[in-house]
């Protein structure tokens, strides 16, 4: 550690004491001055002196000191906290790399509200007269977090299915009871990206063990490959179930700074109710931005902590089969059971898409079956992206409405949400991260899945960007939701079929789509010349969507400028075929190149989303060489699964 953090070691070495033991934490900050474990991770375990020197410059750290345990031959752990702190203040000489954490001796609710406003994890409440109790969790010190998280030991992993058949389905994790014995805590199958899955599997394979390192039941051992208990991970969860398993666990990150012996189960402290903010509260806590927070408080008022995101079960294939069987065999009113959730569904034979041409009428039952059958392809497109629902309670020929947030959710905690500042206030936006949520969306007649181009998860490329989306427009604009994964090019033909009513948008027709496909080819040539990888899909309506993946280091404004610049090139090269004009009358007879979809407030139908158009078409990814050989109406809710079975998830 001394070699790894030379700045901190130097600051400690200059302190005016012969011998001393401090309790503190090394912290790295994100761009907003909030402690970021993800940024600190890139400094953990560095051994190369050149890389350490570079890290000292690029990722500066501060050692925040909480407590003093021992000074010049005297053990002071049994002295009251207030007296230890007084001695600490007289002893420590603060430097840029070593600072004292000052307690906020205020009402605990007010302190908690301040941590929420600043995007911090929570606070630590300590009794003023408490001793320092080494090696155990004390009821006199309470962690109060906005989210329930804890560290767990990895003891095994389960086989993966479908897209995870080459990696693993879930980590099997354990914690320690009061006696220090490893006890089973369940399986964690959500929160992983492809890179993390591959990296983890490589480590786990060399740690395989013939026997489990803990006592398990036959059910807990089913399908598990056991490993030596050497890795520690941090997991977010909703609560513990009656049998000691984690409910709705989500993997957050590896904890290379923790040993398996450090892991101990602790009863979570519930998040308090919101405190009333008094005059000047913003000024009072402005200084807390660059510090860990400890609040000395004599009372606590609590409510249940908000539910953590639900985990997608590793046996998705079995869940899908069950949903389809229940939906196809049900009457008009039933309850569909899936992954521990019970979803009331009604009016299953209600027509959502009337019969069109050779396509039969499509009902709510068909929508449930489609969402279930396509879940392995839909969920990766939807994961961690706030959803705008497009609800058609009485089918596509009746009035509809958009819905960006939910005031109330269905019973159970399977629908994940994220608190986002929109329309002038904080509201709960929906995330579609599991099969039960897809079934529920079908029940409420969400006939199209419109998602943000940005995600609320920092994995794997944006760990240093804030994940706080509520409180103000400024905070959301500094957050992950202002950093999209793609540059989007939306091509809409304004070439009419001829039978549209006055003022209506152009209907799907082959001449218009052929012209749109030609514009897409020209755009691909431009992107190829700039060494930009591009992917294409039908919109499901009349046009095409082209995506260029980007590392999330550019805000929407920059991404939009990229799209506008390339659009301007196309307009200059082909002024009679493509336009960027915003006025509808100026687009007539041309393909509209829309760069303005690259905006935080915009949403777009994701790949494989149904569309509220005659025949039940879906937005379908294509191979570039298929342009000219396919037509958007070729892909519907009735045959999309056959398409992906043939070509895979493009």
**What is the DSSP code string of 421-457?**
EETTEEEEEEE--SHHHHHHHHHTTEEEEEE-SS-S-
Which residue has better confidence, 239 or 59? 59
Res. 472: pLDDT tops 80:
yes
Best CA proximity match to 636, nearest among 430, 355, 424: 355
CA angle centred on 229, ends 227 and 231, rounded to 5°: 100
> For 120-124, 215-219, 487-491, 591-595, which range has the lowest pLDDT when averaged over its residues?
120-124
pLDDT computed for residue 619 by the predictor: 97
How confident is the prediction for the chain on average, in pLDDT?
Answer: 87
Cα separation of 216 and 223, whole Å?
A: 13
Per-residue pLDDT reduced to its tens digit, 111-138: 887 777 776 777 888 999 999 998 777 8
* CA 486 – CA 551 distance, rounded (Å): 8
Share of the chain above pLDDT 90, in %: 62
More confident position, 620 or 31: 620
Query: Average pLDDT, stretch 214-224?
Result: 91
**Cα 583 to the chain's mean position, in Å?**
37
pLDDT at 387 over 80: yes
Q: What is the mean pLDDT of residues 69-81?
A: 94
Q: What pLDDT score was predicted for residue 270?
A: 59
pLDDT at 332 over 90: no
pLDDT value of residue 267: 64
Phi, psi of 281 (to 5 degrees): -65, -35
Please, which pLDDT band fits residue 300 given cuts at 50, 70 and 90? very low
pLDDT at position 287, please?
A: 30
What is the rounded CA–CA span in Å between residue 173 and residue 235?
10
DSSP 3-state assignment of 246? strand
Collapsed DSSP state (helix, strand, coil) of residue 178: coil
The span from the CA of 635 to the CA of 292, in Å, is 54
Q: What is the pLDDT at residue 159?
A: 87
pLDDT exceeds 90 at position 411: no
Find the mean pLDDT for residues 595-610: 94
Which tens digits make up the pLDDT trace of 256-285?
888 999 898 876 565 665 433 333 333 333
Complete domains list, the chain, with CATH: 1-101 (3.30.470.30), 149-262 (2.40.50.140)
Q: Is 477 left (phi over 0), alpha (psi -120 to 50) or beta?
A: alpha
**Residue 378 clears pLDDT 70, i.e. is over it:** yes
What is the model's pLDDT at position 119? 67
638-to-373, 591, 616, 641 alpha-carbon distances in Å: 10, 29, 8, 8
- Please answer whether residues 546 and 519 qualify as being in contact, where contact means their C-beta atoms are separated by less than 8 angstroms: no
pLDDT at 281: 34
Question: Which two tokens mark 115?
Answer: 């941590």
Band of pLDDT at residue 35, cut at 50, 70 and 90: confident
Residue 309 confidence (pLDDT) above 60: no
Three-class SS of residue 7?
helix
The pLDDT of 333-360, averaged and rounded, is: 93
- Report pLDDT for 1: 83
Rounded CA-CA distance 308/87 in Å is 40
CA distance readout (Å), 232 to 91, 136, 159, 163, 209: 35, 18, 20, 25, 17
| Residue 308: band (very low, low, confident or very high) from pLDDT cuts 50, 70, 90 | very low
CB within 8 A of 412, min separation 6: which ones? Answer: 340, 341, 342, 436
* pTM of the predicted model as reported, rounded to 2 decimal places: 0.55
pLDDT of residue 408: 79
String of DSSP letters for 112-164: HHHHHHTT--EEEEE-TT----TTS--TTEEEEESS-EEEEEEEEEEPP-GGG
Please give the DSSP secondary-structure letter assigned to residue 515.
Answer: H
Comparing CA positions, the residue from 149, 37, 52 lying closest to residue 464 is: 37
């Amino acid at each position: 550690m001394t070699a790894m953090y030379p700045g901190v070691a130097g600051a400690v070495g200059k302190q005016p004491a012969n011998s001393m033991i401090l309790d503190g934490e090394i912290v790295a900050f994100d761009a907003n001055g909030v402690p970021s474990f993800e940024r600190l991770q890139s400094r953990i375990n560095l051994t190369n002196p050149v890389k350490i020197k570079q890290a000292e410059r690029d990722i500066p750290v501060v050692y925040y000191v909480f407590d003093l345990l021992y000074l010049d031959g005297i053990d002071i752990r049994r002295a009251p906290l207030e007296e230890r702190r007084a001695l600490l203040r007289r002893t420590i000489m603060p430097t840029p790399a070593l600072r004292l954490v000052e307690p906020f001796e205020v009402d605990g609710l007010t302190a908690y509200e301040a941590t929420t406003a600043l995007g911090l994890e929570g606070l630590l409440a300590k009794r003023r007269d408490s001793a320092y109790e080494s090696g155990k969790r004390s009821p006199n010190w309470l962690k109060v977090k906005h989210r329930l998280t804890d560290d767990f030991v990895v003891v095994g992993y389960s086989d993966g299915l479908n897209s995870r058949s080459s990696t693993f389905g879930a980590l099997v994790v354990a914690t320690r009871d009061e006696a220090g014995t490893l006890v089973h805590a369940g399986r964690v199958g959500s929160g992983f990206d492809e890179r993390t899955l591959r990296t983890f599997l490589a480590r786990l394979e060399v740690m395989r063990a013939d026997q489990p390192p803990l006592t398990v039941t036959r059910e807990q051992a089913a399908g598990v490959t056991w490993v030596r208990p050497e890795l520690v991970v941090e997991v977010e969860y909703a609560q513990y179930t009656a049998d000691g398993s984690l409910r709705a666990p989500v993997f957050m990150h590896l904890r290379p700074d923790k040993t398996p012996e450090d892991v101990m189960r602790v009863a979570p402290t519930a998040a308090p109710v919101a405190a009333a903010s008094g005059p000047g509260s913003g000024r009072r806590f402005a200084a807390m931005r660059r510090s860990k927070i400890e609040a000395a408080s004599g009372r606590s008022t609590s409510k249940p902590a908000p539910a953590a995101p639900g985990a997608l079960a590793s046996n998705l294939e079995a869940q899908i089969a069950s949903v389809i069987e229940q939906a196809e065999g049900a009457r008009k009113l039933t309850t569909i059971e899936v992954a521990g959730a019970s979803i009331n569904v009604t009016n299953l034979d209600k027509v959502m898409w009337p019969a069109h041409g050779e396509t039969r009428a499509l009902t709510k039952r068909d929508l449930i079956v489609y969402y279930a059958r396509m879940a392995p392809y839909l969920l990766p497109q939807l994961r961690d992206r706030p959803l705008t629902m497009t609800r058609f309670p009485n089918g596509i020929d009746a009035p509809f409405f958009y819905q960006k947030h939910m005031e109330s959710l269905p019973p159970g905690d399977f629908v994940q949400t994220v608190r986002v500042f929109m329309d002038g206030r904080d509201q709960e936006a929906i995330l579609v991260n599991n099969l039960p949520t897809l079934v529920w969306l079908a029940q409420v007649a969400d006939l199209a899945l419109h998602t943000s181009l940005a995600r609320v998860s920092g994995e794997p490329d944006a760990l240093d960007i804030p994940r706080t989306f509520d409180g103000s427009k400024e905070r959301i604009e500094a957050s992950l939701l202002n950093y999209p994964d793609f540059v989007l090019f939306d091509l809409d033909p304004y070439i009419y079929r001829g039978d549209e009513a006055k003022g209506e948008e152009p209907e799907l027709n082959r001449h218009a789509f052929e012209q749109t496909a030609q514009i897409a080819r020209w755009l691909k040539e431009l992107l190829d010349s700039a060494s930009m990888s591009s992917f294409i899909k039908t919109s499901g309506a009349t046009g095409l969507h082209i995506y260029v993946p980007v590392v999330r280091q550019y805000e929407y404004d920059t991404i939009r400028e990229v799209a506008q610049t390339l659009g301007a090139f196309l307009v200059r090269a082909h002024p009679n075929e493509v336009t960027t004009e915003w006025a509808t009358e100026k687009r007539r007879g041309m393909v509209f190149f829309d760069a303005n979809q690259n905006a935080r407030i915009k949403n777009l139908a994701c790949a494989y989303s149904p569309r509220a158009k005659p025949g039940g078409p879906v937005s379908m990814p294509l191979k570039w060489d298929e342009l000219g050989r396919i037509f958007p109406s070729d892909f519907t809710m009735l045959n999309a699964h056959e398409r992906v079975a043939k070509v895979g998830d493009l």
